[in-house]
């Protein structure tokens, strides 16, 4: 099996795992990953994470031309913005996960630091998550908003829509977006209960120890 064939299989396996556990539903969500030649493999538009076909993934060459596979997701501007502004990005995942979307609707959420510091793991895997305003699905302005962050965030939350995470590879991106959803779930479960949050010194210790990107 070639390296690209293995990557195609891995994308579909991870997508199905996310779908089977209810982290996205129907034909929502999209996923992409860099190939060894600098191109991209992308989930096609209108497809379900539970039923992706490795042979039908959209294939882009290193110049950004669609060369084979199905028509790519309409959220390509969002994916492209991460790849163009974060040289270390090897994959991008976008979900419509329930608790993250619910948390984005809460009135007192911090736009510059979307997730409260409830556990160390979201800090370690995501750094600070930026809450972006609502955009119509497929609106190229979403990509413009990500570009406006100048590569300083690996994860954003689209208000009333869903999270988007870039990682060094497709497994890292999927692990990080699962952590985002898990932390949002904890935030919803403890909302109004005055939970004990990690303190500033504890957060800084995590950031320093694990070399976390931590944009102020």
Supply the residues annotated as catalytic: 75, 121
Q: How many CB atoms lie within 10 A of CB 48?
A: 16
Q: Cβ distance 213 to 199 under 8 Å?
A: no
How, if at all, do strands 66-68 and 155-158 pair? Answer: unpaired
Instruction: End-to-end CA distance of the chain: give it in Å, rounded.
Output: 44
For 203-208, the CB contacts below 8 A with 24+ separation are 203/117, 203/123, 206/120, 206/123, 206/124, 207/123
Q: Are 159 and 148 in contact (CB under 8 A)?
A: no
Give the list of residues 6+ apart from residue 104 with CB closer than 8 angstroms, or none: 114, 131, 157, 158, 159, 160, 161
The answer to whether residues 147 and 78 touch, using CB atoms and an 8 Å cutoff, is: no
User: Is 62:37 a contact under the CB 8 Å cutoff?
Assistant: yes
């Amino acid at each position: 099996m070639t390296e690209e064939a293995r990557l195609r299989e891995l994308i579909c396996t991870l997508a199905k795992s996310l779908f089977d556990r209810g982290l996205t539903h129907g034909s929502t969500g999209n996923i992409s990953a860099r190939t060894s030649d600098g191109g991209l493999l992308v989930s096609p538009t209108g497809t379900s994470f539970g039923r992706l076909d490795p042979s039908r993934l959209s294939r882009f060459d290193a110049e950004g031309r669609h060369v084979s596979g199905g028509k790519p997701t309409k959220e390509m501007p969002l994916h492209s913005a991460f790849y163009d502004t974060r040289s270390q990005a090897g994959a991008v995942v976008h979900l419509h996960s329930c608790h993250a979307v619910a948390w984005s609707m809460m009135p007192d959420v911090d736009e510059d630091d979307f997730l409260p510091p409830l556990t160390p793991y979201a800090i370690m895997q995501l750094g600070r998550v930026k809450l972006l305003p609502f955009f119509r699905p497929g609106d190229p302005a979403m990509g413009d908003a990500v570009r406006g962050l100048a590569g300083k965030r690996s994860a954003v939350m689209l208000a009333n829509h869903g999270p988007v995470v870039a990682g060094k590879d497709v497994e890292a991106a999927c692990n990080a977006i699962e952590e985002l959803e898990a932390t949002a779930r904890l935030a919803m479960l403890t909302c109004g209960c005055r939970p004990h949050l990690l303190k500033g010194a504890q957060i800084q210790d995590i950031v320093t120890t694990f070399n976390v990107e931590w944009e102020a």
